Structure 1
Amino acid sequence: MALRFVRPPRLVPGSRVAALSLSSGFVTEVMGRYHAGVRQVAAGFGWEVVPAPNALRGPEYLDAHPQARADDLHWALRNPDIHGLVSIIGGDDSVRLLPFLDLGLIADHPKVFLGYSDATVTLNQFLRAGVMAYHGPALLTDLAENGGMHPFAAEGLRRALVDEPRPFDLAPAPEWTQAHVDWEDETAQAVRRPFQPGDGWVWLQGEREAEGHLMGGCLEVLDMLNGTPGWPVHELWQGAVLALETSEDVPPPRQVGYWLRNYAAQGLLAGAAGLLLARPRDYTPEMVEELHGWVRRVLREAGRGDLPVVANVDFGHTSPQLTLPLGGRVRLDPAAGRVTVWP
C-alpha cells in the first residue's frame, strides 16, 4: 500500500518564512549574503524572511547549544504567524539535535521546511512525522545566488511550494555551476558566476516505469544519521524512489558504493522503486564514470539490475538546483526519459 504524507499548506505572497540555523551558525560572518537572500526571496516570491530567535547568535553559541537550534524549529512550528521554514546553510552536526526534537510538533503543525545538505537530518524527521519536506535551496546558496536567483531554481521552488498542487515533469538545468565565490566580498554579490552548458541526464539502467514516494538526501549526512533513533524505520523506505546526492567533501566513488552496499544489506535497495542520483560536485569525468560503475555494480549485487536509475540530476551541491518534495510521489519513465512529480 502506498505511503501518504501530509502536504503542508502552500506558501503565497505575504507568507512569513522562518530562517533557521539548524547546523552551522556561520551566517553571522556573511550577513551581506544573508540580506541578499532575504531581498531576493521577497522580490521573487513576496515572502518575508524572519530570523528565528537563535538563528543569528553566531557559530560559537550555536555549536555549544544544539537545543537552542531545536528550540528555533519548535518556535517556528508553534508560531501561527510563521508559515514556512528555510535552512540558512548546512554544516555537519544537526544530528546533535535528535535528542531535542519533538516529532509530535511537526505532525501537529505541518509547515513547509526547505533545505539540503546537513538539513537532510531534519528533512527525514519530517518524513518520520508523516509530513512532506522539501529538498532544495538554502537561504545562503541558491536563494542568494550572485546576480539574482537563477530562473531554473526559482521555477522549481514555485512549482513545489507556491503553485496549486499538480503533477509536473522535472527537467535538466540548461546550465550549471560549481564555481566558488567569496561570500564575504559583498561587491561580488551583483556579479553572476560563470556557468557551463547543461549536459542532460544519464539513464543508467531500467526499462520499466516505476513509481514511489521520494526519500533520501545528502549521502554523507545520511551516513551520520544511519543507526541513530532519527533513521527512518524500514517501512518508510519500502517502495521509495531514492534521491541521493554528495557534498563538496567529494567522497570517492567507491565510498558511494560502500554506502549503497549498506543500503542493500538493510534491504532498502530490494524494496526501492527507483533512484535519482544527483550531479556530483567537483567530480572529474573519470570519477563520474567510476561512480556510475559502482552504482550499477552494487545494484547488480543486490539483484536490482531492473531498478530504474537516472543520474546527473540537478539537486544538491551544484547550482541551480531543483526542489524535490520528499514524501511526494514521483514516476520514472526510462523509455520516455521522463520524471514526473506530484508535489
Structure 2
Amino acid sequence: MAPHFVRPPRLLPGSRVAALSLSSGFVTEVMGRYHAGVRQVAGTFGWEVVPAPNALRGPEYLDRNPQARADDLHWALGNPEIHGLVSIIGGDDSVRLLPFLDPGMIRAHPKVFLGFSDATVTLTQFLRAGVMAYHGPALLTDLAENGGIHPFVAEGVRRAVVDEPRPFDLRPAPGWTEFRQDWADETLQEVPRPFQPGDGWVWLQGETAAEGHLMGGCLEVLDMLNGTPGWPGPDLWNGAVLALETSEDVPPPAQVGYWLRNYAAQGILPRAAGLLLARPRGYTPEMAEALYAWVRRVLAECGRPEMPVVANLDFGHTSPQLTLPLGGQARLDPVTRQVTVTP
C-alpha cells in the first residue's frame, strides 16, 4: 500500500514564512544577501519572511546549540502566525538535530517547508511524519539570485506551493549556471550571473511508464542520515520515485555507485518505481558518462534494468532549480519523454 502524505496549506500573498538556520549560521556573514532574498521573495510571491528566534545568532552559537535550531523549527510549526518555513542555507550537520526533533509537531502542524542540500535531513523527517515537503531553493541561493529570482525558479515554486494543486509537467531549464558569485560583495547583488544554454535531460533507460511518490534529496546528506533513527522505514521507500542529487563536494561517480549499491542492498532500489537524477554539480562530461554507467550497472545488479531513469534534471545544487513536492506523485513516461508531478 502506498504511503499517504498530508498536503500543507498553500502559501498565498500575505503569508508569513519563517526563515530557519537549521544547519549553518553562515547567514550573518552575508546579511546583504539575506535582505536581498527577503525583498525578492516579497516582490515575487508576496510573502513576508520572518527570521526564527535563533536564525541570525551566528555560526558559533548555532554550531554549539543544535537544540536551538530544532527549537526554531518547533516555534515555526506551532506559531499560528507563521504559515510556511524556508531554509536559509545548507551545511553539513542537520543530522545533529535528530535527538531534539518532535515528529508530533510536524504531524500536528503541517506547513510548507522549502529547502535543499543539508535540509534533506528535515525534509525527510516531514515525510516520516506523513507530511509533504518541498525540495527547492533556499533563501540565500535561488531566492536571492543576483538580479532577481529566475522565472524558472518562480514558476516551480508557484506550481508546487502557491497554485491550486494540479498535475504539471517538469521541463528542462532554458539555461543553467554554477558560477560562484561573492555574496559578501553587495555591489554584485544586481549583477546577473552568466548562464550557459540548457542541455536538456538524458533518458538513461526504461521503455514503460512508472509512477510513485517522490522521495530523496542530497546523496551526501542521505548518507549521513542512513542508519540513524531519522532514516525512513521500508514502507516509505516502497514504490517511490527517487529524486537524488549531489553537492559541490563533487563525489566521484564510483562513490555515487557505492551509495546506490547500499540502496540496492537495503531493498530500496529493487522496489522503487523510477529514478530522477539531478545535474551533477562540478562534473565534466566524462564524469557524467561514468556516473550514468554506474547507475545502469547497479540497477542491472539488483534486477531492475527496466526501471525508467531520467538524468540531468534541474534540481539541487544547480541554478535555476525546480521545486519537487516530496511525498507528491511523479510519473515518468519514457515514450513521451515526460515527467509529470502532482503536488
User: Does the alignment reach a TM-score above 0.5?
Assistant: yes
1:336 aligns with 2:336: yes
Q: Does 1:310 align with 2:310?
A: yes
SS of residue matched to 2:231: coil
TM-score by length of 1: 1.00
Post-superposition Cα deviations, 1:167-218, rounded to whole Å, max 9, x if no partner, equal: 0000000000000000000000000000000010000000101000000000
Tell me the equivalent position of 1:164.
164
Q: Tell me the distance in 1 between the aligned counterparts of 2:105 and 2:190.
A: 40
Other-structure match for 2:276:
276
User: Which whole-Å CA distance do the structure 1 matches of 2:277 and 2:214 have between them?
Assistant: 12
Alpha-carbon deviations, 1:249-300, whole Å to 9, x = none? 0000000000000000000001100000000101001000000000001001
Hey, what's the Cα distance between the residues in 1 that align with 2:203 and 2:328? Answer: 21
Matches within 5 A, 1:239-278: 239-278=239-278
* Unaligned stretches of 5+ residues in structure 2: none
Please give the alpha-carbon distance, in whole angstroms, between the structure 1 residues aligned to 2:339 and 2:102: 34
RMSD: 0.4
State the alpha-carbon separation in 2 of the partners of residues 161 and 127 from structure 1. 16
Q: Corresponding residue for 1:76?
A: 76
Aligned to 1:86, the other structure's residue is in SS state strand
SS in 2 for 1:332: strand
Q: Aligned pair 1:91/2:57, yes or no? A: no
Cα distance in structure 1, aligned partners of 2:171 and 2:146: 23
Count of residue pairs brought into register by the alignment: 343
Which residue of structure 1 lines up, in the alignment, with residue 51 of structure 2?
51
Q: Report the counterpart of residue 9 of structure 2 in structure 1.
A: 9
TM-score, normalising length: structure 2: 1.00
Q: Which residue of 2 aligns with 1:128?
A: 128
Q: Could you list the runs of 4 or more consecutive aligned residues of structure 1 that deviate by over 4 angstroms after TM superposition? A: none
Report the alpha carbon displacement of residue 3 of structure 1 after superposing the two structures with TM.
1.8
Cα distance between partner residues in 2 of 1:278 and 1:44: 25
Give a deviation string over 1:195-243, Cα, whole Å, max 9, x none: 0000100000001010000000000000000000000011100000000
1:118-267 aligned at under 5 Å gives the runs: 118-267=118-267
Q: Match for residue 20 of structure 1? A: 20
Shift of 1:44: 0.1
**Cα separation, 2, equivalents of 1:107 and 1:239:** 22
Contact 2:242–2:272, Cα closer than 8 Å, also in 1 = yes
User: Could you tell me how far apart the structure 2 residues matched to 1:284 and 1:270 are?
Assistant: 29
Find the aligned partners of 2:295 and 2:209 in 1 and give their Cα distance. 19
Contact 2:3 2:235 in 1 (8 A): no
Residue type at the aligned position of 1:247:
S
Percent pairwise identity = 83
Report the alpha carbon displacement of residue 2 of structure 1 after superposing the two structures with TM.
Answer: 2.2
Amino acid at match of 1:226: N
Cα distance in 1 for partners of 2:68, 2:190 equals 34
Alignment partner, residue 35 of structure 1:
35
Quote the Cα distance in structure 2 between the aligned partners of 1:2 and 1:211.
Answer: 11
- Match of residue 62 from structure 1: 62
Q: For each residue in 1:303-332, what CA deviation from the matched residue of structure 2 results, as whole angstroms up to 9, or x when unmatched?
A: 100110000000000100000000000100
Task: Tell me the distance in 2 between the aligned counterparts of 1:260 and 1:332.
Answer: 20
Residue 241 of structure 2 aligns to a residue whose secondary structure is strand
- Alpha-carbon deviation of 1:132? 0.1
- Secondary structure of 2:138's aligned partner: coil
Q: Secondary structure at the match of 1:276?
A: strand
Aligned-partner Cα distance in 2 for 1:3–1:232:
12
CA distance in 2, matches of 1:318, 1:339: 19
**3-state DSSP of counterpart to 1:293:** helix
Q: Which residue pairs with 1:296 in the alignment?
A: 296
Partner amino acid, structure 1, of 2:224: M
CA–CA separation in structure 1 for the residues paired with 2:39 and 2:4: 35
8 Å CA contact 2:2, 2:238 repeated in 1? no
Letter in 1 for 2:10: R
CA distance in 1, matches of 2:51, 2:224: 27
